[in-house]
Structure 1
Amino acid sequence: MRYDLIIKNGLVILDEGEVKINVAVKDGKISAIGTDLGEAVEVIDAKGLVVSPGMLDAHVHITDPGGSYRDDWEGYLTGTKASAKGGVTSFMEMPLNQLPATVDQKSLQIKLDAGVDRLTVDVASFGGLVPFNLENGIQELHDGGVAAYKCFMATCGDRSIEGDFMNSDDYTLYEGMRQIARTGKVLAIHAENATITDRLGEIAYQNGETTLKAYAKTRPVFAEVEAIRRAIFFAKETGCRIHICHIACPEGVEEVTRARKEGIDVTCETCTHYLYFDVDELDAIGPIAKCSPPIRDEENQKGMWEKLVAGEIDFVTSDHSPCTPDLKDTENAFEAWGGIAGVQNNVDILYDEAVQKRGMSLKQFANIIAANPADRYDLNTKGRIAIGKDADFVFIKPNAPYTLKTEDLEYKNKISPYVGREIGAQVARTILRGQTVYSLEEGVVDARPGKFIFVKQ
């Protein structure tokens, strides 16, 4: 057989571990893995590079369409280009901050239409669980092929904007879980106690607090843990598969671990920024580092690394949630938009921090960026370098430090808390279904080969 592509001489991360071996691609799929694979139309020499499955970032916000309110936020065009540059070959898009929010068949179709011919990488969609879509919305989203569902226990959305997302009260959470359980899909949850965090934030703001450190104190660990416990209890009652998003404290991870041991179908993620920044450096960085749950202290971060290495955290995401610069341009942290732009710098930072600095195995690294999220959300063609899977790869150049500059960012609004940081590894090439979509030499390609991924069950 004459293959479309052969990747040779790389250190390839397979299910059984890393090995120097060649990989062949035909019609966008991995066709053979071995040492003597014959000929190909294209041969890429990956000598000196780590060949990993492309990252599946399971938590990304794209604001397309913007509904005239958020037209200048991150769109599919720039968001997927940034993903390609960062080694992310596919991501799962949250049902907000686009307008209208993705809560039924009509709004799902509007979002899909907005992405036509604008995708550099593949995209799967979350459907939303909100108080106003309990009649038919959950089933419509399932029929439309969403990969999973998402809800907020923390306050979210702008009630002055028609069609914006909305957090779930306890009844919505319970009834939504009952309905989602019937689909067999997963409900991903932003777990923070809204009543407590909202009131603490109001009091701090009224008292004249302005710093990010003060903001972090208004979203304490116990408010995160309480919401996780409540979500797990509802899951036990309803039989719904759940996933706790962006856990920011080891105590929260412990709740998930305990529930799993009791037989509850629950997983969790954390984000790169919780493993990289600590609260004492936030005010020097500014509101571009504001997010919720907040970045916590150094001891907390140490505990998160311990939980990740121990396998208690299933995967790592970016929670890429950018906005326009004006919404970050304030001296009062309580008035700034909460969200971090990070999809472009997951792979390089995680490789540097986890593998190079902390000795994580390449197999575990590949699991937390690709295999585990693919397994959790039933994205069966993604996540592994294995015969029959999509030929999605990221080539990593180890021990190759560089300093991230603003002009390096592919985002629509070029702001990121990682700018100015030295990162000890580089993404050298990204391949989507056998086609190079980014390389260090050529940059991001002009072609837009990305597709929407649909999950039918």
Structure 2
Amino acid sequence: MPGQFEVIIQGGRVVLPHGVERVDIGIRGGVIAAIAPGLIPDEHTLIYSGKDRIVFPGVVDAHVHFNEPGLAEWEGFTTGSAALAAGGITTYIDMPLNGVPPTTTRRGWECKQSAAADKSYVDYAFWGGLVPNNETELSFLAEVGAAGFKAFMSEPGGEGEEIFTRTDDKALIRGMTIIAELGGVLALHAESDEMTNALAFARISSGKVGAEDYLASRPPEAETEAVSRAIVYARETGCKLHFVHISTRRSVDLIKEAKRSGLDITVETCPHYLVLTEDDVLKLGAVAKCAPPLRNKEEQELLWEALLSGDIDLIASDHSPCPPDMKDTDNFFHIWGGIAGAQSTLLLMLEEGHVRRNVPLTLIASLLASEPARRFGLDTSKGEIAIGKDADFAIIDMNESYTLTREEIRYRHVISPYINRTFSCKVKATFSRGIQIYDDLHGLIDQRLGKFIPAVKQNTIVQGGDIYA
């Protein structure tokens, strides 16, 4: 019907939950109002041609570290969200650590809300944190819309009085009990602190401080031991778990077994585990250091097999930047561990997944958009191209090659293992709530229109059945 759409995205190959169809998308009030071929504009309707392009749901990156308040010189909401917008990411969930104060208390939450206001190009949510002795703060964080809670089973690093600290087993079980009562989800960095500390000490005390020594100090067994222990605690407390940045197939299999036993657990991996290996750490150095570390090629292929079989629930960037001087030392153990890569998440998954391995676009959309939105309570408005959802899209040309240059990096610091990487596809435009906030010719719009999206519910994962088209 004429006269009912402010914007129509016309003639694109649209990635819908059930498949890819060539249809138009009608937008009204920032929301998807119609999905059908041949939608009729009027004289006031803005037309965006999607001909010969993929219209992908706006990516929901559930794992970024923008380090505000307090450490905006590491990244900040403005530069971090600019990078996301340029990469087709339209919603992110910011982690509670590295900012000062961390988001583990009412004060920390209010400081983060204030720091983010009017600074973000795209919409956002926040994680709360679980640390020793903040159990009384958890109900407040849940009430104000935290997407979930983050805890570390190994030391997260950092210096100063107000830093995010490791949660020992007793505090972890207490916290999980409370989070279960609140109906929340606990996201866990699962590495055995005892194992990694002992192995690191043995290397460092022998003067072995290179990249290969760091890799050896954090073996796959450190991850699988912590995953196994956390699963026991989940069974005891009834707490829903989400394992972040899982790097090994054995951990995925442990989580799969726990799901089959009835536990509500999800598993996340990151693009860097799917496209980089430990050889890249030795070749690229500090820009490729992360924890857990990159694994070997064989382990990487096993992760891809797990992804294709539906055993990985979602993919997130774990964008973890820092100033350049924190990457500049000969002692690999002292280098800040984190990979800056959020701007490239969607293109990496399209290139390495869809183009090279024939991963269905619907599965990539589930991993990058619908499942993170659903798991963390943002799915009333985010995650899918569906009537009633926010009009968030990434417009992709699958036939235009693109090389990521230093000049196109939008992070605060031009540090990334993906610089000079060539893709066979390109993000042409990004829409957030029906507004085109980025295109590859003109860049970003002047306004920063991103708004806070509180988590309104936290769902139980559904097991069984083939959910992918």
Given that 1:100 and 1:163 are in contact with CA atoms closer than 8 Å, whether structure 2 keeps it comes out as yes
Superposed CA offset, 1:185-219 (max 9, x none): 21110000001101211221222223222211111
What letter corresponds to residue 104 of structure 2 in structure 1?
Answer: V
User: Are the aligned partners of 2:26 and 2:33 in contact in 1 as well (CA < 8 Å)?
Assistant: yes
Match of 1:346 in 2: 345
| 2:178 corresponding residue in structure 1 | 179
- Say whether the 8 Å CA contact 2:405–2:420 is kept in structure 1: yes
Q: 3-state DSSP class of the match of 1:161?
A: coil
| Distance in 1 between residues matched to 2:49 and 2:29, nearest whole Å | 20
Match of 2:412 in 1: 412
**Shift, 1:254, TM fit:** 0.3
- Matched ranges for 1:131-150 at <5 A: 131-134=132-135, 136-150=136-150
CA drift of 1:333 comes to: 1.3
Asked whether the 8 Å contact 1:349–1:424 carries over to 2, the reply is no
Residue matched to 2:30: 28
Q: Distance in 1 between matches of 2:224 and 2:400?
A: 39
**Contact 1:143–1:456 (Cα < 8 Å) also in 2:** no
SS of 2:6 mapped into structure 1: strand
Corresponding residue for 1:64? Answer: 68
Structure 1 residue 132: deviation in Å?
Answer: 2.5
Using the size of structure 2 for normalisation, the TM-score is 0.95
- The percent of aligned pairs where both chains have the same amino acid is 41
What whole-Å deviation, never above 9, does each CA across 1:25-76 have from its counterpart, x for those lacking one?
100110001012221521100111110101001110011112xxx3411000
Partner of 2:117: 116
Residue identity matched to 2:92: F
Runs of 4+ in 1 over 4 A off after TM superposition: none
1:184-333 counterparts in 2 under 5 A?
184-333=183-332
RMSD between aligned alpha carbons? 1.1
Per-residue CA distance 1:207-251 (angstroms, 9 max, x = gap): 222322221111111110010011111111111111000000000
Q: Give the TM-score of the pair, scaled to structure 1.
A: 0.97
Number of residue pairs aligned between Structure 1 and Structure 2: 452
Whether the 8 Å CA contact 2:392–2:432 is kept in 1: the answer is yes
Tell me the equivalent position of 2:13.
11
Q: Contact 2:66 / 2:72 at 8 angstroms: preserved in 1? A: no
One-letter amino acid of the structure 1 residue matched with residue 17 of structure 2: D
CA contact (8 A) 2:120 2:451 kept: yes
Hey, what's the Cα distance between the residues in 2 that align with 1:399 and 1:35? 23
Aligned partner letter, 1:252: S
For residues 296-315 of structure 1, the C-alpha deviation after alignment (integer angstroms, 9 at most, x for no partner) is 10000000110011110011
1:79 maps to 2:80: yes
Report Cα offsets for 1:113-138 as digits up to 9, x if no partner: 0011101001110000000202x111
Inter-partner Cα distance in structure 1 for 2:212 and 2:435: 44
Compare 421-430 and 319-328 and name the one that shifted more: 421-430
The equivalent residue for 2:57 is 53
* Equivalent AA in structure 1 for residue 65 of structure 2: H
User: Partner amino acid for 2:169?
Assistant: D
Conserved 8 A contact 2:306-2:312: yes
Aligned residue identity for 1:361: P
Check if 1:91 corresponds to 2:74: no
1:147 and 1:365 mapped to 2: Cα distance?
22
- 1:437 deviation in Å? 1.1
**CA–CA separation in structure 1 for the residues paired with 2:367 and 2:72:** 33
Amino acid at match of 2:48: I
Counterpart contact for 2:83–2:409, Cα < 8 Å: yes
> Quick check: 1:341–1:416 contact (8 Å CA) kept in 2?
yes
Distance in 2 between the 1:11 and 1:42 partners? 19
2:191/2:225 contact within 8 Å kept: yes
Structure 1 counterpart of 2:373, which letter? A
Q: How far did residue 424 of structure 1 move?
A: 2.1
1:131-154 CA-partner distances (Å, limit 9, x unpaired)? 0202x1111111221111110001
Corresponding residue SS for 2:161: coil
**CA–CA distance in structure 2, aligned partners of residues 157 and 284 of structure 1:** 24
Q: Which letter maps to 1:46?
A: G
